[in-house]
Amino acid sequence: MSLELHGHLFSSYTWKALIALYETDTPFTFRNIAGNDHPDNEAAFLAHWPVGKFPLLVEDGVPIMESSIIVEHVAPAMVPDDHELIGGARPRDASRHCPNRPHLVVVPHAQMATIPLWAYGALAGVVTVVLIVLLVSRRGGGTDSLQQGVDAYVRGQREVAVNAFNKAARENAKSALPHVYLARMAREVGNLTLASQELQLALEAEPANAIALREMGANLLTQGNYELARRFYVRAVQADPNDKTAQGYLGCTLMRLNRASEATSFLNRAGPGPWSNCTPVAPAAANGVVRP
């Protein structure tokens, strides 16, 4: 008995048939319809199956088309007994699900011959290198800018720091930290509106970021909005139960709200710190006592 499988190695449907042949150790000859090795393959394939869809199995000159039928023919044991399961798989045989379809249109052999195999390899290599470089530069770039911002901030170069943090935010839209730093810098110069906007961006990027939640609490505490500040500090402590600063200022905020016993519990958990000065005083008098 002679068996020939006509197909293309970039075609997932061809691989479906190949797997059945390999799994059952069935001897066959592979006829690559788009290769340069056998110029007659494409003509032989189309003579058997003018529809031009591959894979195509030819058994002693008789064509067997459709990948699922080929699998059933070659490896009936690989087909499940469950008819509903088979029925569910059938619609996936439609060629529109072929992932490589745009590349697999049968190209006349004369044209194929003008594109040497090494050119495909070289192209794939170049694309891979470009993708890796893009990936690395995007990741590394975001981190570098953030670090540059922190360094400049520590050196007191505020304008340089702001530019670097803005760059880091553009480079990594999913990171809260650049916005947190920008918010902190805005709060330091008394621009609480800008600080609040930056913190909203930080929490859009990372809704559960403990530092961003804590900074939002700090911003609201500075504005005297104790109830809202308390809610953000609660979320910050939930996001990072070991954050002493969030615990301390949650205690402080509770003091401002005259919830002394809950406040004392958090102040004790946090231990001594700037929040230790918080006392249950009237909000107006409390302003300025503690700057988180």
Ligand X SMILES: N[C@@H](CCC(=O)N[C@@H](CS)C(=O)NCC(=O)O)C(=O)O
Q: How far is the CB of 92 from ligand X (least distance, A)?
A: 8
Q: Rule CB under 6 A: is residue 71 a binding residue for ligand X?
A: no
Q: How far is the CB of 102 from ligand X (least distance, A)?
A: 9
Q: Rule CB under 6 A: is residue 5 a binding residue for ligand X?
A: no
Q: How far is the CB of 21 from ligand X (least distance, A)?
A: 14
Q: Which stretch binds ligand X (CB under 6 A): 99-107, 138-146, 157-165, 219-227?
A: 99-107
- Whose CA is closest to 202, among 230, 160, 227, 239? 239
Q: Rule CB under 6 A: is residue 146 a binding residue for ligand X?
A: no
How far apart CA 42 and CA 47 sit, in angstroms, is 9
Q: Rule CB under 6 A: is residue 72 a binding residue for ligand X?
A: no
Q: Which is nearer to ligand X, 24 or 100 (CB)?
A: 100
Q: How far is the CB of 77 from ligand X (least distance, A)?
A: 19
Q: Rule CB under 6 A: is residue 233 a binding residue for ligand X?
A: no
Question: ∠ CA 155-159-162 to the nearest 5 degrees?
Answer: 95
**Which of 39, 52, 76, 283 touches ligand X (CB under 6 A)?**
52
Q: Rule CB under 6 A: is residue 104 a binding residue for ligand X?
A: yes
Q: How far is the CB of 138 from ligand X (least distance, A)?
A: 33
Q: Which is nearer to ligand X, 34 or 213 (CB)?
A: 34
How far apart CA 57 and CA 68 sit, in angstroms, is 11
Q: Rule CB under 6 A: is residue 98 a binding residue for ligand X?
A: yes
**Which of 59, 72, 93, 240 touches ligand X (CB under 6 A)?**
93
Q: How far is the CB of 14 from ligand X (least distance, A)?
A: 6
Q: Which is nearer to ligand X, 23 or 151 (CB)?
A: 23
**Which of 3, 19, 26, 53 touches ligand X (CB under 6 A)?**
53
Residues lying near ligand X in the complex (CB under 6 A) are found at: 11-13, 52-55, 66-68, 93, 95, 98, 100-101, 104-106
